[in-house]
Chain A
Amino acid sequence: MGNRDERSDREQMGTLLVAGVSRRDLMRVAAAMAGLSGVAVVTPTPSAASGTAVGQAAAVPARQPSPGGQMIWGRAGDPDTLDPHRTNAAVASAVFTNIFDPLVGRTMDLQFEGLVAERWEISPDGLQYTFFLRPGLKFHDGTDVNAEAVKFTFDRLIDPATEAESVSWIGPLDRTEVIDPLTVRMVLREPFSPFLGNMSIAGYFGILSPTAVQQLGDEFGQRPVGSGPFRFKERITGESVTLERNPDYQNFRSYVTNKGAPYLDELVFRNIPEEQTMVAAFETGEINLLVVPPRQVPDFEANADYQVLRFEGGTNIQFLEFSMLEHEGEFGAVFKPPFDDVRLRQAVAHAINADEIIERVLEGLAIRNYGPMPVSNNGYNPEIETFGYHYDVDAANRLLDEAGWVRTSDDGPRERDGQPLRVAFWTWVSGVQERVAQVIQNQLTQVGFQVDLTTMEVATLLNRLGEPDDTSNMDLMGWGWGESDLLYMMTDSGSGVGRYQPESYRRLVTQARQVTDLQERANLYFEAMKVMLADAAMVPLWTTQLVTGVRTDLQDFKLGPQGTYVYVDAHVAE
């Protein structure tokens, strides 16, 4: 097999992206949204990695399940397009992941395995990737999946006219060459260790039908054609997207039992914005799949009609970031006052009681993380705790005193030179997000900040952060990305920690992009995290976990190796 160096990287970020926002920092929000950020921990067997399934029938049916039935996923949001090159929306990628198969996927223990490609070779200098495609694969429109189609797909992806946001995720891809009808070679400008890792994020780098793209033009996003297990059936704007079984499908994933066409007739993605409406729809059977709101998890687990699938891990990081001004001069002067003093940033880090928020607001569905690397990513090292900030009100008060911000009254904010310690705190509108922000607001008030909390629609928030009318001092943010390259990406956007680019940090994360040895990469990331934490450039909080609920009238729905939903084994209970 090909490059195994990154076998422990866990991909899967795509699904997290927020709908409708075109900026690349979009994906930052990802994780915190109730998308699909969960990723299995490193576990050798599929059964162990798929978590607990309460109420699921123990015996695996010996005979082939009969086809039929629908899987209806209720979630908030409706994709505007299903063209993988034209959107970063989580709600879109969760759909088109089923329509497009990528060259390479992941096994349950997170090694690469061939999907459209049977095998591949990497040149010793790491600049050339040669893929040998499986013969006989067909797109949903009946045309052949061949080297031309692969070249077409990647040419379109890196064509500046396409404006694909995912183009930076495959870094220095220079060109794609057809060697013969079933062999294709990709040439990079420089070694890029996250290449296969990022590319196996199903969907975003899936192979498109060139015939369909040429025929449909801009309409392709409304009637996508790929070679995946489900094909597009219909879309009702604002309401639902329906996919149907691809009857000719051959499944090469090692972790699925069903190697042929899916059993389900249809896969429906229903838009239900209001959380409680969604839960009610699940109870009545109107939908049979959803991400369970944290508060509802005990109820779901106690209900024999529901299966609950839970992940112990995640490829997202939730954090508080400080607003930064355009970096023109020396680093250090770029944090917007009053956070231009590192002691104030450190005070914030000490004043937040993340453990209490995890327990009381997130119902324990998060893993405390003292560094910016998600728990399930390669390079995550719990020892980062030594360099992180613990809840310590005394330390926070001391730092603020030292910085000259003193308490002048019992209940008002601290002051310096007659100015109150008043900061604007932004986040987006979402139940959990707003509650977390309110607790943080309260905890900061305890040490003498006056925190003005403003919430706005996620798209509005992302468009305003870093712009001239950004009046915030800090915001509550999240990033989701299963490749460790995240540490580069999150400091390469237009706002907040995206502008944190001191030489010492930048050098480490850039070097990590060119190193293939896992341990060496991990060491570089560890050093980079130490730099970032010493600067308190952001306050890492936790990695959230997701809980999925499925009604028992559907059996064998699984969670895949990257925390993705696996529909092909699902079938109606008999």
Chain B
Amino acid sequence: MAQLTAGTLPELERQRETRRQRRLAIGRLRANRLAVAGGAIILALALVALAAPLLAAEDQDSMTLENQFLPPSAEHPFGTDDFGRDILSRVILGSRISLQVGLVAVGIAATVGTVIGLLAGYYGGWVDTISQWAVDVMLAFPGLLLALGVVAVLGPGLLNVMIAVGIGSFPGYARLMRGQVLALKQTEYVEAARASGATGGRILTRHILPNALSPLIVLASLGVAGAILTAAALSFIGLGAQPPSPEWGAMLSSGREYLRREWWITTFPGAAIAITVLAFNLLGDGLRDALDPRATRG
């Protein structure tokens, strides 16, 4: 019995502390108006993306050349493009693509990065040396350049862009996770778990990973913004979404020739990218402030 108490006391204490921290974090997040605004925008975007086929007046295959270059009006609030397509409909349909790209790319990056970081940090030795060497090499290249290279190998296309952005940004997650693990490895409760005979896998998944998630969430929410931007950039130069996909970057690209007169063709998808990226950045900043106890204000 005594043995059991000794084993769970730090664990219970930790859980209580975690709950307290979480309450504090949520409180801090809600007090951060910008973060709340960012979150609200993302929520709205997610709803729009889910309901996109219902909200969009036209599907992506509709093309009415007689209606080309119509300025914003009641009928076409965002105007029409060079093919007479309703830009509002396309921006709405494009929200699906951008959110999907952002989440999938970050999902790939975070998963790969986390696994590598956990293993490297926990086991050290040659696993650490080799993986960190690889991460160092990849960090030496700008993310966009890396993504460009991957797309060049895989060929243009949206799926390949997601993979490319994912591969391009996983080193950051690996580096972050490794640092977290190195710190958490020394904590009392991990030592306790280890002393009570837990396996490496169990310690990593049950004890270390949950406690290392905060900075990961922050990085991921900022990463979604970066991924959306990179994907839009790749589509802008023709390596990403292929026509007639209403991807925002591709819309920007096809409208740039009309920038001087038909400003609405580029303005609205451009604004959509800007607002989405801003929202994820605000939320990410808010999360960082909220989840980092050292940043506790007043």
A: residues with CB less than 8 A from B are: 275-276, 279, 293, 295, 356-357, 359-361, 411, 429, 431, 434-435, 437-439, 441-442, 445, 452-456
Residues of chain A lying within 8 A (CB to CB) of residue B238? 429, 455-456
B: residues with CB less than 8 A from A are: 59, 61, 63, 65-66, 68, 82-84, 156, 238, 242-244, 254, 256-261
Given contacts A435-B83, A442-B61, A456-B156, 7 further A-B contacts (CB under 8 A): A276-B256, A276-B259, A295-B258, A438-B243, A439-B65, A453-B243, A455-B242
From B63, B66, B260, A442 is in contact (CB under 8 Å) with B63
Residues of chain A lying within 8 A (CB to CB) of residue B66? 360
Residues of chain A lying within 8 A (CB to CB) of residue B82? 361, 435
Q: Report how far A434 CA is from B235 CA in the complex, Å.
A: 14
Q: Report how far A453 CA is from B254 CA in the complex, Å.
A: 15
A-B contact count (CB 8 A): 54
A441 touches B243 (CB 8 A): yes
**What are 8 contact pairs spanning A and B, CB under 8 A?**
A276-B257, A360-B65, A434-B254, A439-B63, A442-B83, A453-B242, A453-B243, A455-B242
From B156, B242, B257, A293 is in contact (CB under 8 Å) with B257
Residues of chain A lying within 8 A (CB to CB) of residue B244? 438, 441-442, 453
A429-B238, A435-B82, A455-B238 are known contacts. Are A445 and B61 too (CB-CB below 8 A)? Answer: yes
A356 touches B242 (CB 8 A): no
A434 touches B243 (CB 8 A): yes
Residues of chain A lying within 8 A (CB to CB) of residue B65? 356-357, 359-361, 439
7 A-B pairs with least C-beta separation: A360-B65, A442-B63, A438-B243, A431-B257, A453-B243, A445-B61, A356-B65
Residues of chain B lying within 8 A (CB to CB) of residue A454? 156, 242
Q: Report how far A469 CA is from B179 CA in the complex, Å.
A: 45
A409 → B minimal CB distance (Å):
14
Q: Report how far A454 CA is from B65 CA in the complex, Å.
A: 22
A456 → B minimal CB distance (Å):
8
Q: Report how far A573 CA is from B122 CA in the complex, Å.
A: 78
B243 touches A276 (CB 8 A): no
Which DSSP category, helix, strand, loop or mixed, fits chain B's interface? loop
Residues of chain A lying within 8 A (CB to CB) of residue B257? 275-276, 293, 295, 431
B254 touches A439 (CB 8 A): no
B258 touches A452 (CB 8 A): no
Which DSSP category, helix, strand, loop or mixed, fits chain A's interface? helix
Q: Report how far A357 CA is from B84 CA in the complex, Å.
A: 12
Residues of chain A lying within 8 A (CB to CB) of residue B83? 435, 438-439, 442
Taking CB as reference atom, which chain B residue is nearest A279? B260
Residues of chain A lying within 8 A (CB to CB) of residue B258? 295
Residues of chain B lying within 8 A (CB to CB) of residue A445? 61
Residues of chain B lying within 8 A (CB to CB) of residue A279? 260
A368 → B minimal CB distance (Å):
16
Q: Report how far A411 CA is from B53 CA in the complex, Å.
A: 14
A276-B256, A442-B61, A455-B238 are known contacts. Are A360 and B243 too (CB-CB below 8 A)? Answer: no
Residues of chain B lying within 8 A (CB to CB) of residue A453? 242-244
Q: Report how far A431 CA is from B84 CA in the complex, Å.
A: 16
Residues of chain A lying within 8 A (CB to CB) of residue B68? 360
Q: Report how far A295 CA is from B261 CA in the complex, Å.
A: 10
Residues of chain B lying within 8 A (CB to CB) of residue A360? 65-66, 68, 84
Taking CB as reference atom, which chain A residue is nearest B260? A276
Q: Report how far A437 CA is from B258 CA in the complex, Å.
A: 18
Taking CB as reference atom, which chain A residue is nearest B155? A454
A452 touches B242 (CB 8 A): yes
Taking CB as reference atom, which chain B residue is nearest A431? B257
Question: Which of the listed residues B59, B242, B256, B257 has the most CB atoms from chain A within 10 Å of its own CB?
Answer: B257
Question: Which of the listed residues B63, B156, B261 has the most CB atoms from chain A within 10 Å of its own CB?
Answer: B63
Taking CB as reference atom, which chain B residue is nearest A437? B243
A76 → B minimal CB distance (Å):
13
Residues of chain B lying within 8 A (CB to CB) of residue A439? 63, 65, 83
Residues of chain B lying within 8 A (CB to CB) of residue A293? 257
Residues of chain B lying within 8 A (CB to CB) of residue A456? 156, 238
Residues of chain B lying within 8 A (CB to CB) of residue A359? 65
Q: Report how far A211 CA is from B4 CA in the complex, Å.
A: 100
Q: Report how far A452 CA is from B244 CA in the complex, Å.
A: 9
Residues of chain A lying within 8 A (CB to CB) of residue B59? 411
B243 → A minimal CB distance (Å):
5
Residues of chain B lying within 8 A (CB to CB) of residue A361? 65, 82
Q: Report how far A276 CA is from B258 CA in the complex, Å.
A: 9
Taking CB as reference atom, which chain A residue is nearest B156? A454
A192 → B minimal CB distance (Å):
42
Residues of chain A lying within 8 A (CB to CB) of residue B260? 276, 279
Residues of chain B lying within 8 A (CB to CB) of residue A357? 65
